[in-house]
Chains A and B, each alone.
Chain A
Amino acid sequence: MSVTATALAPGRPARATVRWSRRAVGALAFAALIELVSRTGLADREFLPPATEIVARMGTLALDPAFRAHALTSLLAWAVGLGLAAVAAVPLGLLLGSVPVVDAATRSVVEFLRPIPSVALIPLVALVIGTGLQLRISLVVYASLWPILYNTMYGLRGVDPLAKESLRSYGFGPLSVLLRVSLPSSAPFITTGVRLAAGIALILTVSTEIVAGRGEGMGVFIYFAGIAVPARMTDILAGVCWVGLFGVAVNALLVAFERRAFRWHHARLGEQT
């Protein structure tokens, strides 16, 4: 909440710069520590290559067509899976959140399915549909579904009854009220759900690729670097760093979008505190 208030304060650009430079200093210090530990031989170089070598490898990988193909495949599985999950989970959330009968009827199934770690389903799903792109996409969809679904339902629960009544008093029916009041009112929560799901989708993309162990994908690249003799530790770490960077970038983009698009929502929260 205080972050929100800071974001709205007039001094925002300056504070954002300070925040980012602090983060950069932290990251650089961490890199320097790795460099030191590796160069001094405190840790075996085979297990922990110096940070500069990892970063250099990240650069050459970015220019390597084979690695780019791996990255593009992962990105595709991630994006398609997340998109499908959003397209399915938002309407489903609207349905469950606005029709109590459907919610009650499906609750036991939902409560059973939700706690199953999606990664545990990989072997099962792989047996049924093989280890191709469809395995990754279906598991990404499954795992991403939950945060979006739950955030949609949570957002709907928080819709002001008076806002709904306002529109009803002009003669609008229940469907209009759902689409014109409940949906936009829940949009900030739904977007947060998508942001959480984006992170989970990335985990699932890479894990399924590692388990599948063939074809293309960042996970496949990391897997093969790991089983090589001797293991290509610099490749593993460079690959992992690229995946992590992608996750950070997506999260930052979505946070920026939330700030911009839902100014009304943050202004309202600011009032209450």
Chain B
Amino acid sequence: MLEIDNLSHVYGAGTPNEHRAIEGLNLSVAEGELLCIVGPSGCGKSTLLRSIAGLISPTGGQVKVEGNLVRQTPDNLAVVFQDYSRSLFPWMSVADNVALPLRRRGMDKKARREAAMEALESVGLSGAERKYPFQLSGGMQQRVAIARALAYRPTLMLMDEPFGSVDAQTREDLEDLVLKVRGHHQMTIVLITHDIDESVYVGDRVVVLSKAPAHVVGDLKVDLPEPRDQITTREHPDFVHLRAEVGRLVRGHAAVV
């Protein structure tokens, strides 16, 4: 599904501000997998995501999505950013926000509208379609952003710290929402987070990145009983063990460098 081969990215190469964000990163994600990527702050996670999405051209190595080399944004890809208040379009109603990307699908107005309503329903926002983003709470705005991605029916959904800007309760709700919708839509999800617990709770697999320049320092399979549950999963001995393991990898490596 997703192949990352020896990826490197340097910002401002040859200048005094040169910053090596990623170096020699290899990663492959299978179809239908929900992969969480964790790493210390500022380790180049977002650079990695932007390289996968074709929003920046990496300075070295290559990214392939569904076997195709990424040069510009791949067709069946959607991104959910951390900052929902900036990534949603404030001048558009909720329904119009969700429907806009569907223009790329060549759908007519009616079909776009229907797909938007369906996606909004699946994130629990029926009835909010006429509202504007500023009239919704943060958690609801992020649900709109998720609905926008789902309506697009991507085969690969990238999420960049999607729950970093909401309160703890909302965060748990949104984590469960992601687990729910991935069951309904067959898609591969790559979720970037700095929250170790979250990565283990949500992921089928957790990949740990080093400090910048980022490369993979750990790759763990998460074999927790399904369906996941905020209380029982988090007290499961395997959860406790895995989260300690991931924590050691994140910190351990940070200490060495």
Residues of A at the B interface (CB closer than 8 Å) are 160, 162-163, 165-172, 180-181, 184-185, 187, 262-265, 267-268, 271
Q: Which residue of B lies closest to A271 (CB)?
A: B134
- Chain B min CB distance to A219 (Å): 39
Name the contact of B55 in the complex, choosing from A168, A184, A271 (C-beta under 8 A): A168
Q: How far is the CA of A185 from the CA of B91 in the complex (A)?
A: 7
Q: How far is the CA of A171 from the CA of B135 in the complex (A)?
A: 28
A184 in contact with B73 (CB, 8 Å): no
- Chain B min CB distance to A135 (Å): 39
Name the contact of B73 in the complex, choosing from A162, A171, A187, A267 (C-beta under 8 A): A171
Known A162-B81, A169-B53; further 10 A-B contacts with Cβ < 8 A: A165-B55, A165-B81, A167-B100, A169-B77, A170-B104, A170-B152, A184-B92, A264-B91, A265-B90, A267-B134
Kindly list the 9 A-B residue pairs having the minimum CB-CB distance in the complex, ordered from nearest: A170-B101, A169-B79, A267-B134, A264-B90, A166-B87, A162-B86, A171-B73, A184-B91, A160-B86
A184 in contact with B104 (CB, 8 Å): no
Q: Which residue of B lies closest to A172 (CB)?
A: B104
Q: B31 near A: Cβ within 8 Å?
A: no
Contacts A168-B55, A180-B100 given; does A268 touch B134 at CB 8 Å: yes
Contact count A vs B, C-beta below 8 Å: 65
A170 in contact with B86 (CB, 8 Å): no
Q: Which residue of B lies closest to A161 (CB)?
A: B86
> B152: which A residues are within 8 A, CB to CB?
170
Contacts A162-B86, A185-B91 given; does A169 touch B55 at CB 8 Å: yes
> A162: which B residues are within 8 A, CB to CB?
81, 83, 86-87
Q: B22 near A: Cβ within 8 Å?
A: no
Mask: chain B, 78-96; 1 = CB below 8 Å from A; 0 = not: 1101010011111110000
Q: How far is the CA of A271 from the CA of B92 in the complex (A)?
A: 18
Q: How far is the CA of A170 from the CA of B77 in the complex (A)?
A: 7
Contacts A264-B91, A267-B134 given; does A163 touch B104 at CB 8 Å: no
- Chain A min CB distance to B129 (Å): 16
> B90: which A residues are within 8 A, CB to CB?
264-265, 267-268
Q: How far is the CA of A107 from the CA of B195 in the complex (A)?
A: 48
In the complex, 6 of the A-B residue pairs with CB atoms within 8 angstroms, ordered by the A residue number, are A169-B73, A172-B101, A180-B100, A264-B132, A265-B91, A267-B135
B81 in contact with A166 (CB, 8 Å): yes
> A262: which B residues are within 8 A, CB to CB?
91
- Chain B min CB distance to A265 (Å): 7
Q: How far is the CA of A181 from the CA of B87 in the complex (A)?
A: 11
A171 in contact with B55 (CB, 8 Å): no
- Chain A min CB distance to B148 (Å): 9
Q: How far is the CA of A171 from the CA of B156 in the complex (A)?
A: 14
Q: How far is the CA of A160 from the CA of B72 in the complex (A)?
A: 21
- Residue from the set A160, A185, A187 with the largest chain B CB neighbour count within 10 Å: A160
- Chain B min CB distance to A251 (Å): 23
- Residue from the set B74, B75, B91, B133 with the largest chain A CB neighbour count within 10 Å: B91
Q: How far is the CA of A263 from the CA of B134 in the complex (A)?
A: 9
Q: How far is the CA of A214 from the CA of B83 in the complex (A)?
A: 60
Q: How far is the CA of A163 from the CA of B55 in the complex (A)?
A: 13
Q: Which residue of B lies closest to A264 (CB)?
A: B90
> A160: which B residues are within 8 A, CB to CB?
86
Name the contact of B89 in the complex, choosing from A163, A171, A271 (C-beta under 8 A): A163
Q: How far is the CA of A141 from the CA of B76 in the complex (A)?
A: 47
> B132: which A residues are within 8 A, CB to CB?
263-264, 267
Q: Which residue of A lies closest to B158 (CB)?
A: A169
- Chain A min CB distance to B240 (Å): 36
A181 in contact with B78 (CB, 8 Å): no
